[in-house]
Amino acid sequence: MKIIFLSLLIALTSLTVRAESAIDLLKASDRGRGGIGEGIVWDAKVETAEDGEQSEREFLVKAKGNDALVEATEPARTKGEKFIFNDRNMWFYKPSLKKPVSISSRQKLSGQAANGDIASTHYARDYNPTVEKTEVINGKKCAVLLLKAKNSQVTYDQIRYWIDEKSKLGIKAEFLTLQGKPLKIGFLDYRNVLKSKGQSFPFVSQLTIIDARFPKNKSVIHYGNPRTEELSSSIFNMNNLSR
């Protein structure tokens, strides 16, 4: 009986350690995608190839904590369009609208990029992670995490996420259906450097999102000029969008 109890205790301890390890890894990886406490600003360009057609869109992104403001800057016809993220709620505004409208982070932004892809930085807040296995990608030993959405307001139901154990950066993602089938595959690069509170660390420079069934259809999000800034909470108020 004592042996059985001891075995169960060891098994439970192992599961707890793995769970803690998973959430710690996920929190560390979020920093490289903008998941820091202070205000951060960056430029984003989305290049899309979809069924043989090419398109580009550009945005200015301002984020702080669980909030974000995304302003369209190019092409000219989209100027004045704004997206606001308040926690897990999202609104869209453009000059022809009388007031902002509620939208989903899952809706298409451009090609393979969903609305939530442009500014969602807090996987540790939005998903419950478990470690599935380890795997080597391009010579990097990675922990492979399965992320399950905490609610239906997040961009994807599940994500399989590869985190480099040395750098603590997420380098690959499979965006999955509820049934675990890949919808899209993402690859991340980190050639930017962000300075925050006297420290410098890698910041994402590119996210390539590929259709799992039709690989020629893809969107590439380029991140430029990341910097920390003091941001007023008022800019994330949807009632101020039309002002």
Q: What is the mean pLDDT of the chain?
A: 88
Q: Can you say whether residue 65 is alpha, beta or left, with left for phi > 0 and alpha for psi between -120 and 50 degrees?
A: left
Q: How far is CA 176 from each of CA 79, 118, 160, rounded to the nearest angstrom?
A: 32, 18, 7
pLDDT per residue as tens digits for the range 182-207: 999 999 999 999 988 888 999 999 99
Residue-wise pLDDT for 217-243, tens only, equals 999 999 999 999 999 999 998 888 776
Sequential DSSP letters for 159-213: EEEEEETTT--EEEEEEE-TTS-EEEEEEEE--EEEEETTEEEEE--EEEEEESS
Residues of the chain with pLDDT under 50: 2-17, 19
The pLDDT of residue 1 is 52
Which pLDDT score is estimated for 89? 87
Question: What CATH number has the domain spanning 29-240?
Answer: 2.50.20.10
- pTM over cut 0.85: yes
pLDDT at 18: 52
Strand partners, 209: 186, 219
Q: What is the 8-class DSSP label of residue 109?
A: E
Q: How far is the CA of 204 from the CAs of 6, 154, 194, in angstroms?
A: 45, 20, 9
